[in-house]
Amino acid sequence: MVVSRESITPVIFIVSDSIGETAELVGRAAASQFDAGAAEIRRIPYVNHPEEIPEIVAQAAAETAIIIFTLVRPHLRSILLAEAQRHGLQAVDILGPVLDALKAITGHEPRFEPGLMRKVDQDYFRRVEAIEFAVKYDDGKDLRGIAGADIVVFGVSRTGKTPLCMYLAHKRIKAANIPLVPEVPLPPEIFSLPPNRLIGLTIQSEYLGWIRHERLKSLGLPFDADYASTERVRKELAYAEEVMRRTGCTVIDVTRKAVEETASKVLEIYYRGFRHR
């Protein structure tokens, strides 16, 4: 019995030293250009050892399959191509020619490290997630963020809590911040967090008073508002000092410090605590 070529569903083996998404997308895109538009895809990810390849190619040969592969290590690519030729199979190298072209233009050797693009993508999405987290849980708007935060920052108004949390977010760290106001009770969850996840920001009273006066000026409000008075500033800072003592948090004086300088101290504290978990 002769089987019509039109009724054949091609089998494509996707071989990769990472997860194989790129090669599978290419295979499906190519198959869609034919009338049937279908192919049977067999994805074989994380192929990182030479001894795996002959068995994979033999399986593909048993089904007269096409092999599409993304292998960044040259010796693995060479073995797969040789095995495919030995079995009379078509093998399509997705990355090899592009790597060779880029090497010729740049004069540099590739890193030959599998999965780098996926690592970059994961870093990007972690950064976006951390930025969204910082916005959502800024200035104590939603105290549910405390439990999910990598770092909780607190301090009185105008100590730079929001810029610090946004900077940390760009480093893929989820940071929530809570304003310290004597008249507003603190959420009890704060006192159950480990100290290495808590950062208290303090500032010299005279400098804070000046910052608040400038803030009032920019808003067109009267300079003698209680917000910037010496008495109010000292009261808030005394309250903040007591809260920080009770929580056992790390205290950072942000007087005349750039956000980058404060952030570098927070990152050092965070990663030191992370290593000791």
Q: Are residues 84 and 34 in the same domain?
A: yes
Residue span of the structural domain in which 188 resides: 124-275
Structural domain includes residue 105: yes
**pLDDT tens, 161-188?**
999 999 999 999 999 999 999 999 998 8
Work out the average pLDDT over 36-44: 82
Whole-number average pLDDT of the chain: 88
* Structural domain count of the chain: 2
Residue 275 has pLDDT above 50, yes or no: no
Q: Are residues 67 and 139 in the same domain?
A: no
CB-CB contact of 248 with 195 (8 Å) = yes
CB-CB contact of 178 with 140 (8 Å) = yes
* Element holding 40 (H helix, E strand): strand 40-44
Residue 274 has pLDDT above 60, yes or no: no
Position 119 confidence tier, pLDDT thresholds 50, 70, 90: low
Q: What are phi and psi of 148, to 5 degrees?
A: -95, 0
Spatial separation of the C-alpha atoms in residues 266 and 259, rounded to whole Å: 10
CA distances from 41 to 26, 60, 65, 218 (A): 11, 11, 10, 63
Residue 212 has pLDDT above 90, yes or no: yes
- 92, 114, 136 - which closes a domain: 114
Spatial separation of the C-alpha atoms in residues 4 and 113, rounded to whole Å: 43
Structural domain includes residue 104: yes
Q: Are residues 99 and 37 in the same domain?
A: yes
Q: Are residues 152 and 42 in the same domain?
A: no
Residue located via tokens 């190298």: 93
Q: Are residues 109 and 239 in the same domain?
A: no
Structural domain includes residue 4: no
Residue 190 has pLDDT above 80, yes or no: yes
Work out the average pLDDT over 106-127: 76
Q: What are phi and psi of 180, to 5 degrees?
A: -100, 115
Residue 103 has pLDDT above 90, yes or no: no
Q: Are residues 159 and 255 in the same domain?
A: yes
Total-model pTM: 0.60
Spatial separation of the C-alpha atoms in residues 183 and 191, rounded to whole Å: 18
Structural domain includes residue 74: yes
Q: Are residues 106 and 138 in the same domain?
A: no
Structural domain includes residue 261: yes
- CB contact set of 251 (below 8 Å; sequence gap of 6+): 200, 201, 202, 244
**pLDDT tens, 217-264?**
888 888 778 999 999 999 999 999 999 999 999 999 999 999 999 999
CA distances from 70 to 16, 17, 99, 111, 113 (A): 5, 7, 11, 14, 12
Q: Where are the alpha helices (DSSP H) in 15-108?
A: 21-31, 53-62, 74-87, 96-106
